[in-house]
Each structure stands twice: as structure tokens, then as C-alpha cells.
Structure 1
């Protein structure tokens, strides 16, 4: 049931409150390396619901214990008294001991339909897999760098948003190298006019130099946008060309994880598109037009499944994937979730 929202900025509070009914009966986890941001976000949310319908768990002596979970379960036996829903806050959910984690599994998976459980962590991958699978994950980035670029270089922020929001190395580069960033932007603006083979060259660049990474990210989105106008045979031809680069790659697992990351961003934007009116929170603002006007019917059950599948690949440290099969499957999963009409 879990899905993955990779980027939401300061507007997270507004988004959650505006569409809170979408999360009733579910468990959310806010993730950031800075605990202050996490605590501040929850404190802001607390102001919008009656205190009598809030239950808060904070680690004591470095742990969340089974007694805390039992108290939470008892609190959820009864419907809210003063609000439309009850809200549970679990600070630093990664601090649950084994007994508490096991006791929490059922309630995290199926909270009462009048309740929302919001947890926080700065160590997502330290959570037990059984806990992670029961949480909607929302990653809150540190906003300072993003705001500086947005205010100083708004055109960069709009057109290079994925690099800025998801790769801090790229964000620092864009902020500190405006002339070179302008050159990169001009290249990207011309992506719609170049042929698919040139786009794939950018996409499959194996050098991690920051300029190449920005072009690599944006070439992926340009290719995805073209899928709408192509038939299955033409799309398969593009996939085959991507696979033809296999023997030129130094690290195939890194490339597989790159594609997982990029497809997760598409799925993130699909959730933003569906659940909110805040399209400015898209991972890639260049995809706003695609979501607004493309001819597709999103299958959210498949998107949930694809999200979990891609995230499992990102967590893997073992290079035991069949490159061709994994990349082919990744594209196929995307097609089935977005373009069922092409099966005809």
C-alpha cells in the first residue's frame, strides 16, 4: 500500500491540510535529515486540530516502547470528539524498539478510518521493512537552497527543477555557476527539436560530472513526454536503443538505480497531479504540461506497486539484476500504469 513522494517543500502543511481526507485511515512518514524541520512541521499541523483529538508519541530515554503503542491503540478505540478525525504524531519512529514495532504493525497498516497517523524520521532506511511498507513516505528537503535559486534565478528553478530539488550537488552548481547553467538551459530548451538518438546519448552518459547529470535528468523527461505520440513498436525501439548502451556502462547497477529514481519521480508527480492542486510541487515542472494535456488514464494501483518495486531496487546493494530484463520491465510497468490505451 505504500507509495513514495520524493519532494514536497514548505507547502507540505498546506497540501496535507487541503487534501487531508485523502489520508484518513492511512499512515504517513515525513522524512528529513534535520529533526528541527520535522518537529516544526508537526507543531504547525497541531495548530489545526483540537488538542483533545491529538495523541503524541515522543521517544523517552532514546526509545519508543510497547507501552506507547498500547496507549495509542487505546486512544484510537473511540471516534474523535471535537474534530473530523483524530491525529497521531509519532516523533522519530525509527526509535521504536522491536516489541513496539511489532505491536504497531497492524495499526499502521489499517488505522481507523477516522484517524491519520503521521510519523517522522531522519533515518528512513533504519526502519524495519515491515514498517516502511505500511507508510506513505514524504521527503521534506531543506528549503534554503531551493528558495535562493527560486528567488535569484526563477527561470532555472522552473526549467531545471528536478536537478534543483533532488540533487543538491546540481542545485549548488546552478546557484554558483549561472553562466554555465544558462548554457545548459539553452541546450535543454532545444531538446524538443532533436532526434531520439541524440536524447538517448544524453540519457546514457556515464560520466557523473554535474553538467552531464542535469542533461541526463532532463533528457529522460523529454523521452517520456514523447511516449504519448508513439505506438508500442516505436517505444520498444527506444528501449532497445537504451539497452544497446549496456556494454559501455562502467556500473550497470548504478544505471538501474538511476532509472528507478527517475520513474519514482514520475510516480511522485502523478500523486501530486491527482491528490492536490499544487502542481508547483511537481518534481519536474517541465512535466506539468505533460500531466495536464497528455492522453492517459492513470492506474494508481499499478503506480503503488511500481513505486514499491522501484524503491526496492534503490535499496539494493547487490548487483544481481539482469540489466536488460530490469530496464525493460521498468518501462513496461510505467506503460501499463500510464498508457493502457496503447495495449489496444
Structure 2
């Protein structure tokens, strides 16, 4: 479990937490807002560990008994709220693991910290059950709500929490981390950085994948042949992405890297600035037959498809509409 010192990026959020600790002005409830892989859980666990550390400093020492417990996820006063259904946190889960439990004082420390991952998936009933605790919390309670989509949370919850939004990590920091810690070749790091758009978790996921070359080949095959493929072939291709243990939304980001290359080359004719440098001829061919407006429409459609898939809109409908637009443009 990394301490604040080991986290790449997110300096403003780390500084906020450290100042709160230094000034003894820790809020009873925080929302860490950001997409999957952006580092919400890493920062939340580092904050929780720091609060429990026996040294009482603005970063966890990593060597005391409390830190060792936190690192092994065995600290009795750091509670990870879990849920059985993948897309829903029910009222009973919140009542049993948080609302009821918070009435029990900390076992061994000053604070009792609750980390609720996927907090935006709480049902309305679950959020209402949590509301009273947030409105009248015990002095020792610190509740960390990790959310990918804060718009699905009740305004009454949002108004009573300190919301901290995850910002993209600069590309050069992501690439440095991949080169030093994942030890991937330079060309692969460039693709992963472009794919991740400042999300270091996504960059690491792709860079660490044993299927990186297969993912790349599958994406390039689709991009080069989409005009002559029928929709059944496209659907079959997209459904096969699960073999690479990559979510469809992430694969769409991979496609977006290609179209950003096409847009960049159309505007500059600069091969050196491309991510897919070895595909310069195909990118040039695509740029020649595409308009600026058409490429921008495709990039917007890729983002819209991701949003719809995250909202559980029918897969076939979303992908069908996306590729009809791609074929048109």
C-alpha cells in the first residue's frame, strides 16, 4: 500500500489531505471523484493509513504496527464497504457495514475510516440511509466515498461532503512510471500513455497486459477494414475483446488514439508526432479520405458510446450506432 510520497500525480488532493491532518481540520465525509483507474482508491487508502499511523505525521511511516495492519487490510478501524451486486450497493449493505457499525467507537485509534468504492452505485434508499450519518457523524468517523459518476448521487449527499476531483496525471509522469516500474519498451509506453489520457491505472493495465500486441493487432484490423466489414462481423469482433481481459470502453479508447493520430496527421503531415508511427501510411490514407469534421464526429461518437455503455445501454445498439457513424465518416 503506497503512502502519499509514492503516489504519482494528484499533488493538489494530497496537499489538501496533508493540510487537513496538519491543522486538525479533517472533514467527516469526502467524495473522491474520477473515472476507474484514476487513483481514487490509492489516495483513499494512503489517507486512511496516514490517519491511523502511530507517528501522527502527514504521511504514513509504513513501519509501525498500525501501518502494517493497514497494508495487509487488517486494521480494525479501516473498513472497506463491499457489495455483492456488481452495479448496485443496497440499503442493507450500507446499514450493516457503515450506519450500524459507525456507532461502535474505534478499537485502537483516534479515527474510524470507511472507504466506499463505487459509491455512485448506491441505490437512492442506500444514500438516504447514509445521509443521517453524514449529517450527524460521530467525531471519530471519516467516510470516503469513491465515485466515478457523481451526478448519480443525491444533492443532499453532495452538499454535505468535501468533493475532490481527480485530475489527469501529466503524460511525461505516466511514461516515466511505466518505463521504471512496468519496464515496457518505449513504443509500447507511448501507446499506453496516449490510450490512458492521464489515467495511470489504465496505462498500467494495458502496459502489463500479456495481450498488448494482440489488442493492438485486433484494433488495427478493425480500423483498416471497417469500411468493408458488415455489422455482424463488427459485432463479433467487438464481443471478442473480452478475451484480452480488456473492457469494451477501454478498447474504444484504444481506437480513439488512432483517430487522434489521423486528425493530427491531417493537420500537420508530421509523422514524428504520431503514436502509431509504424502505421504512417495507413494513417495518411485515412486522413486523405476523411474530413476534419468527420474525424471529430468519430471521436465524439467514441466518447458518447463509452458513456452509454457505462449507463448500461444495450451493447448491440450502442456499438451498432457507433460503427454506422464511423462507416459514414
The structure with the largest alpha-carbon Rg is 2
Q: Which has the higher contact order (CA 8 A, sep 6+)?
A: 1
Instruction: Specify if TM > 0.5.
Output: no
TM-score by length of 2: 0.39
